[in-house]
């Protein structure tokens, strides 16, 4: 039997698209997966999905992540964090308590984090005792969040540094039917940073992370290539924002965020229509279904 997996990319505020997709899935009680892997904001979105909490992620993104307590350039200029991911997690759980019974009785969830010593991705299974640590680590943007979270004998930064789209990890774990929710339109390819020297300087204390940032675009595009040309024994289904998706990593405009969410809701409905065969598509031509 082929295992099936759900992969959710991060992308900070761009995660509002995936929150819409997953809300549609919840509205249809759709969860045909054996396990899920999330990265950064994608992991936060998966927590809402697997705990069967419709609109929780949307509320967190639009009401909490737009709060100056979370995103504060003035604080950053004074030597503090640009984004306070620990505050966001703790405060979100105060305002929107998680259904932990549903979360931990659901399918296994893994989150990608980047090890600051190796610069490589580690994949932690989310469990009750480790949930807070893992979510903080997978969303801890380097530079923007100055103190790398540490747990289980290691210290970590945002999972997207080493593996933004862990589709190859899902395949390695035995998944042969893989659904990927991306946070960029289909045409996107990551370009190498034009300010690599600055990143290297800012991350001088963490040379392995600096190196991972240097090759991040290459790794990201290799994941896209794997998606576009999967192994013969794998089917990969992709859900992406439309080309006019206007949400950026740090978009704070409510109208733009709400539009991005509605695009996610619509993309989720379209994906389910494809899965039901309403467009005449089937497994043989569904490697890059949207």
Residues ≥6 apart with Cβ < 8 Å to 89: 44, 132, 135, 136, 139
One of 4, 19, 23, 40 is an active-site residue; which one? 40
Residue 13 CA from chain centroid, whole number: 10
SS3 at position 51: coil
40 tagged catalytic: yes
Long-range own/partner contacts, residues 192-200 (CB < 8 A, 24 or more apart)? 192/217, 192/218, 193/217, 199/143
Separation CA 263–CA 177 (nearest Å): 24
- Name 6's bridge partners: 36, 179
One of 23, 81, 84, 158 is an active-site residue; which one? 158
DSSP letter, residue 62: I
158 tagged catalytic: yes
DSSP assignment of 231-272, as one string? -TT-EEEEE---TT----TT---HHHHHHHHHHHHHHHHHHH
Active site residues: 40, 158
């Amino acid at each position: 039997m082929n295992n099936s997996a759900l992969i959710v990319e991060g992308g900070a505020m761009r995660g509002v698209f995936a929150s819409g997709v997953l809300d549609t899935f919840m509205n249809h009680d759709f969860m045909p997966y054996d396990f899920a892997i999330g990265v950064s904001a994608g992991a936060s979105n998966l927590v809402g999905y697997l705990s069967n909490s419709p609109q929780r992620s949307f509320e967190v993104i639009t009401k909490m992540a737009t709060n100056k307590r979370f995103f504060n350039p003035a604080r950053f200029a004074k030597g503090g964090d640009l984004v306070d991911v620990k505050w966001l997690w703790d405060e979100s759980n105060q305002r929107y308590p998680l259904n932990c019974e549903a979360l931990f009785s659901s399918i296994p969830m893994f989150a990608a984090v980047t090890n600051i010593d190796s610069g490589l991705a580690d994949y932690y299974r989310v469990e009750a005792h480790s949930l807070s640590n893992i979510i903080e680590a997978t969303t801890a943007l380097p530079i923007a969040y100055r103190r790398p979270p540490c747990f289980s004998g290691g210290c970590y930064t945002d999972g997207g540094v080493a593996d933004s789209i862990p589709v190859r990890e899902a395949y390695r774990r035995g998944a042969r039917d893989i659904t990927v929710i991306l946070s960029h339109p289909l045409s996107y390819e990551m370009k190498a940073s034009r300010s690599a020297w600055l990143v290297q300087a800012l991350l001088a204390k963490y040379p392995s992370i600096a190196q991972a940032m240097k090759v991040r675009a290459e790794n990201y595009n290799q994941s896209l290539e794997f998606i576009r040309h999967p192994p013969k024994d794998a089917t990969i289904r992709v859900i992406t924002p439309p080309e006019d998706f206007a949400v950026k990593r740090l978009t704070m405009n409510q109208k733009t965020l709400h539009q991005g969410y509605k695009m996610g809701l619509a993309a989720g409905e379209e994906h389910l229509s494809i899965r039901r065969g309403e467009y005449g598509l089937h497994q043989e031509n569904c490697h890059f279904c949207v």
